[in-house]
Amino acid sequence: MSALTLQTATQISSQALAAGRAISAAPLTIAVLDAGGHLITLLREDGASLLRPQIAIGKAWGAVALGKTSRLIAEDAQQRPSFIAAVNTLAHGNLIPAPGGVLIRDGQNTVIGAIGISGDTSDVDEQCAIKGILAAGLQADAG
């Protein structure tokens, strides 16, 4: 199993930010967490609104905590709202069930962390997350 290093997390964040700039996305905030849910990097682009860091972290944290993309967590929230509400209570409100949180897998398909992005539409956030992971030579598990 490989670990997600600061250098790799920084590369993922930078590439995700570049992907956002390439499509003129709204100002993004990008959080990369390790497999234990610990924050490695956080980039808050100029003009990003006040709660974007917490939302980005929550998207990534939920993906790591539940072992699935935040898009699938959002689908669960629609199909089983009581369950996701209970899980979010256990998570002290830190779970963000909206696309933009993507698991990061290494070459052996092991989860080594997650990226969460907030700032534009959830679909754009997720697209930038995937591009950042792939540009770093890793596998993006977006569900």
Report whether 63 contacts 114 (CB < 8 A). yes
Alpha-carbon distance of 3 to 6, in angstroms, equals 10
Tell me how long the chain is: 143
Q: What is the pLDDT of residue 1?
A: 47
Tokens of 95: 């779970």
Classify domain 6-141 by CATH architecture.
2-Layer Sandwich (3.30)
In this predicted structure, what is the pLDDT of residue 142? Answer: 81
Q: Nearest-CA neighbor of 130 among 121, 143, 142?
A: 142
Mean pLDDT for the stretch of residues 99-118: 97
Q: Read off the pLDDT of residues 45-92 as tens digits, 9 standing for 90 and up.
A: 999 999 999 999 999 999 999 999 999 999 999 999 999 999 999 999
Q: Which amino acid is at 77?
A: A
**Mean pLDDT across the stretch 100-116?**
97
Between the alpha carbon of residue 51 and those of residues 22, 54, 108, 117, 129, the distances in Å are: 24, 6, 35, 12, 18
- Return d(Cα 112, Cα 106) in angstroms, integer: 7
The ranges assigned to domains in the chain are: 6-141
d(CA 40, CA 55): 15
- Percent of the chain whose predicted confidence (pLDDT) is above 90: 95
Residue that the structure tokens 């930078």 belong to: 14
pLDDT of 143 > 80? The answer is no
